[in-house]
Structure 1
């Protein structure tokens, strides 16, 4: 699977992407609303889990088309309830605010709903992460729940295939 947007290449995560993912997970700013920078052993286990995850769990390596630079990770994977699929994303800070996340997420949402044929997707972010909340609303998701998880208030967003 490889998809192209105006500025980005979206491809399935591969073993050779480990160092880029490690740098992403080790970035203090990226991990500010994600529980902080995890230990190396967690990053390794998490990466292995991504590579071995059963279908339709999908982990996507995002790079710039023009330079091939790694900019982020987007996934559609099993949500906490084990029945729903969650859209998740992490982008390196130097690429924030440039429209790349919006461009990539709209493409990945299309992939999830129309190729993976999922009836809907959810996304969860800390309510304190205002930029992430705005991004989810911009891609068409609607807030359906506010809850506490991981010691912080979280907003749960949803986007259904037909509205």
Structure 2
């Protein structure tokens, strides 16, 4: 478990299914993530997160004082297979309030300093300017753009200073 100023970040559990499912059916959340997922696809994704054995980490994010669900953050193998990728999905009513910055920074720090990862990557659609700005604010640098999933993707990275 991690704690930030306003959030608790706990390992994803079966008890988080109902809350995390909200992310997968929200049109705004899924706008740059391939669209709303179907029920069977959601269940498969949740089971995979619960029973991961590939070095992945999935955390449910909740507001500290209310225990309200905010979103999901993860470190899991990037599509290219070399480095772990930081990914995040937050419910829209938490957008623009600094929660993602606070939580994603904590996860990046954990990956670089506790897991001793040499590098962490992030991939987002270039059209998702809010996500691009967030990654840049956290010190990640644009490495390249590619076409994947039918859209232009920006690949960002940050390396360990150790």
Give the TM interval when normalised to the shorter protein.
over 0.9
Hey, which bits of structure 1, 4+ residues long, moved more than 4 A? none
CA contact (8 A) 1:56 1:116 kept: no
Q: TM-score, normalised on structure 2?
A: 0.97
TM-score (norm 1): 0.97
Give a deviation string over 1:12-65, Cα, whole Å, max 9, x none. 000110000111111010000001001110000001111111253100100000
Deviations 1:80-99 (Å, cap 9, x if unpaired)? 12221100000000000000
* Secondary structure of the corresponding residue to residue 31 of structure 2: helix
Q: Structure 1 unaligned runs (5+)?
A: none
2:152 counterpart residue number: 153
SS of the aligned residue for 2:136 comes to helix
Count residues in correspondence.
162
Any gaps of 5 or more consecutive residues in structure 2?
none
Superposition deviation, residue 144 in structure 1 = 0.2
Contact 1:85/1:122, CA 8 A, preserved across alignment: yes
Counterparts of 1:121 and 1:113, CA distance in 2 = 8
The residue number in structure 2 matching 1:28 is: 27
Matches within 5 A, 1:9-158: 9-54=8-53, 56-158=55-157
Provide the alpha-carbon RMSD of the alignment: 1.0
1:22 counterpart SS class: helix
